[in-house]
Amino acid sequence: MSVLVLVEHTNGAFKKKSLEAVQYAAHIAKETGTTVTAVAVGNVGDTAMQELGAYGAQKVLNAADARLENFSSRAYTKVMLAAAQKEGAKVIVGLHDTVGKAVSPRLAARLQAGLVAGAVSYPDLSKGFVVKKTVFSGKAFAFVSITSDIKVITLMPNTYPVVKGEGSASVEKLDVSFSDADFAVQVKEVAKASGAVPLSEAELVVSGGRGMKGPENWHVLEDLAKELGAATACSRPVADSHWRPHNEHVGQTGGTIRPNLYIAVGISGAIQHLAGVNGSKTIVVINKDPEAPFFSAANYGVLGDAMEIVPKLTEAVKKFKANH
């Protein structure tokens, strides 16, 4: 028994969403009367791993083969299979991100286990094992019942607030035997977007649409984003017109995000766009068209010209930050 959770780190520091995943696993472990074992891949210091205890992990297994430096879904799956076997895991938690979406389905297929991809709730054990997830790109939720003995879940980041508690986890090395084929995917080049907050992890997002008129006006959104510590996003027409890179496109055919705050500037709010962002906790809409459908999906609305309003908002944020 035990709940297994795959944790991700950047240069040895665990990501906030992974702490959230550990905490999520701890909740399930508590309800099922078992413990949490986290699995960390690659080079991480013992202190960082022990600290996962403060989020509910009793044990951390570390697979530190040097070849794991580059991500390989096959190799990571082998690590998780070895850990699952060692711990007799019945529930395996990952994140609904680029790593988890590649590893968890492999693991589920190998174990013939049911998978909930993109969970937004704890499992409801009163009805068996039922987990809520978003479907139709955020237009609705589905409750998925897993009927297999082993259950695999990928958790949508930013579902539950992360609260640090007490405790220290024990650390063990995990030996996994790999074949060369597990490392057939070779990384040739990595291009990181400079200085920006990654959109998928961002708690605050400033997004622009066609109402911004052109890429030359984006600096007002970037100034606001910088002041807030927010990521920038855009609507589909903006990405299609190459005003912004398409990894910033959110909506039904772009990324789905659920930040705490989504500020939509010059976006009318077509149903396809709303589908990608309506999981946001708070939505602010700035638009000069009082008929823009986005207003009816927003918490706060400002009517007027983006080029006048956004700089004023940036100033107001600056003032607020100076006083807090």
C-alpha to C-alpha distance for 4 and 90, rounded to whole angstroms: 8
List Cβ neighbours of 148 (8 Å cut-off, separation of 6 or more). Answer: 111, 112, 113, 114
Nearer to other proteins, 50 or 247 (CB): 247
State the minimum distance, in angstroms, from the CB of residue 91 to other proteins. Answer: 13
State the CB neighbour count (10 A cutoff) for residue 74. 16
Nearer to other proteins, 26 or 295 (CB): 295
- The residue with tokens 């699952």 is 84
H/E segment holding residue 40 = strand 36-41
Q: How far is CA 59 from the centre of its chain?
A: 23
Nearer to other proteins, 59 or 273 (CB): 273
Residue 62 bridge partners (DSSP): 40, 173
Nearer to other proteins, 48 or 309 (CB): 309
State the minimum distance, in angstroms, from the CB of residue 141 to other proteins. Answer: 4
State the minimum distance, in angstroms, from the CB of residue 234 to other proteins. Answer: 12
State the minimum distance, in angstroms, from the CB of residue 56 to other proteins. Answer: 24
- 148, 109 in Cβ contact below 8 A? no
Which tokens go with 254? 């772009």
State the minimum distance, in angstroms, from the CB of residue 312 to other proteins. Answer: 5
Nearer to other proteins, 136 or 214 (CB): 136
